[in-house]
Amino acid sequence: MSSPPAPCTRSWSISEDSLKRYVQFASESCIQELLSASDPNRVGSSNDGWKVLALDNGVEISKRRSGSFHIFRSRWLLRSVSPQQFITVANAIDAAKQWDPDLVEARYIKELEDNLSIIRLRFGESSKPLFRNREFIVYERRETMDDGTLVVAVASLPKEIAAGLQPKQNNSIRGLLLQSGWVVEKLEDDSCMVTYVVQLDPAGWLPKCFVNRLNTKLVMIIENLRKLAQAGGPINADL
């Protein structure tokens, strides 16, 4: 009896110019989604769909549904920390494990432009559900708006493009991160308001225990980033 055929993993090989054009197009809607989530005229309004999960020590964590997607948002004020100080810490990819200990590996796959990168993120066995033993192939686009607001848009590449750039490792699961990222608004006295959005596709019902654990994870990330930013930057970022 012959053995069943091996599963086929589709992959697309595209040129760097085509990849750049795709990421620039896809990231535009991501940037607009992030700016909408951070809009102070909409935050907390009764019809914006956000449900506050926690409000403690100046940090608000909210969630809303969009179809089968679950979107988590955290907002907090960083005093005496400029937007550039914060983004320098948040974008120090070599030191990302200092603010997200679940992260096992973070590395650049390709630099498309000064503000446009392709990154591989890998999480270990002890990570939270939807991140456990998963890797994400994402784009990252960094933009400065006319008013000085900094936006960092992050989302997974389509699985066929991701497979062409970085074949999946046998022991990992290729995860899907939808439109996510940071918005950092400049305030008076060199302070800033930070909005962090994470959008996940759980492919079905999301148990309340997972919501609580992701809520805890966001609080931990915020506190770690706050400490790093106020301390002036990551420790041993070149290691």
Note the pLDDT tens digit of each residue in 124-137: 777 766 677 788 89
Helix H or strand E encompassing 184: strand 180-186
Q: What kind and span of H or E run contains 214?
A: helix 208-231
234 versus 214: the higher-pLDDT residue is: 214
For residues 217-228, average pLDDT: 78
pLDDT at residue 82, rounded to an integer: 86
Q: Answer for the pair 73, 59: CB distance below 8 angstroms, yes or no.
A: no
Bigger pLDDT: 186 vs 232: 186
User: C-alpha angle with apex 35: 34 to 38, nearest 5 degrees?
Assistant: 90
Looking at residue 227, what is its pLDDT? 81
Measured between alpha carbons, how far is 235 from 239 in angstroms, rounded to an integer?
A: 9
Q: Which residue has the tokens 């940090």?
A: 59
User: What pLDDT was estimated at residue 105?
Assistant: 83
What is the predicted pLDDT for the residue at 46? 53
Phi, psi torsion values for 175, nearest 5 degrees: -85, 170
By CB atoms closer than 10 A (0-12, 13-18, 19+), residue 111 is exposed
pLDDT at 156: 92
What is the percentage of the chain residues whose pLDDT exceeds 90?
A: 26
Confidence of residue 238 (pLDDT cuts 50, 70, 90): very low
Please tell me which of 9-18, 78-87, 94-103 the model is most confident about, judged by mean pLDDT. Answer: 78-87
Of the ranges 24-28, 66-70, 75-79, which one carries the lowest mean pLDDT score?
Answer: 66-70
Say whether pLDDT at 34 is over 50.
yes
* Residue 75, SS3 per DSSP: strand
Confidence of residue 43 (pLDDT cuts 50, 70, 90): low
pLDDT at 184: 92
